[in-house]
Structure 1
Amino acid sequence: MPRTTSHPKAENFNFRIDPALKAAFTAATRADERPAAEVLRDFMRAYVARREQRAFETEARRQSREVAALACDPVSDEAQVLRELDALFEEDDFQDEWTA
């Protein structure tokens, strides 16, 4: 029989757990009226999202440091852009808009 849904087949994830932890977790999910599997999937999604956020932040810091290093070279494009921005900030008309 062909599949009638576009969702991929679910996979099982088996792992060993301390019986006391399992009992406490099961009791907690029951108290919250949520299936344990749903809570575990939420934990997994949150873990992956945190890892992706950390990777994004790490790359952003790397790029920021790279640009900052390039801006130290007075003949670089980055240094030229910073000089242009400094000139804009020194203009009276532009400063009035920010200080008003």
Structure 2
Amino acid sequence: MTTEEIGVKEAAELLNVHPQTIRRWIRLGHLPAKRVGFKKVLIRKEDLMRMIKPAQKGRPEAILSFLREGTGWEEMTDEEAQKLIREITAHRSKPPREVQG
């Protein structure tokens, strides 16, 4: 069974964070990764998903709803978009914790 691996940029896009945030989590040991060659860093998608789950528990419902339903910005009311932006901003600086198991 092959484990899917993705790059820093793709991981950042999946979590909607800046690639530098992913690099920081790797550097601090929050996210396992391996270097391939001089510049390429690969992250197992499984490890990335492990980090998302505990963070979801603490996320406000508007963020979870947005992630679950995949609602696009253009489909949201101004009020819904502002609420989502406030909640994302409030939780943005907290790194997700890895699941212990």
What TM-score comes out, normalization by structure 2 length? 0.22
Flag the structure with larger Rg: 1
Whichever structure has more strand as a proportion of its residues is 2
What TM-score comes out, normalization by structure 1 length? 0.22
Structure with higher RCO (Cα < 8 A, 6+ apart): 2
Whichever structure has more helix as a proportion of its residues is 1
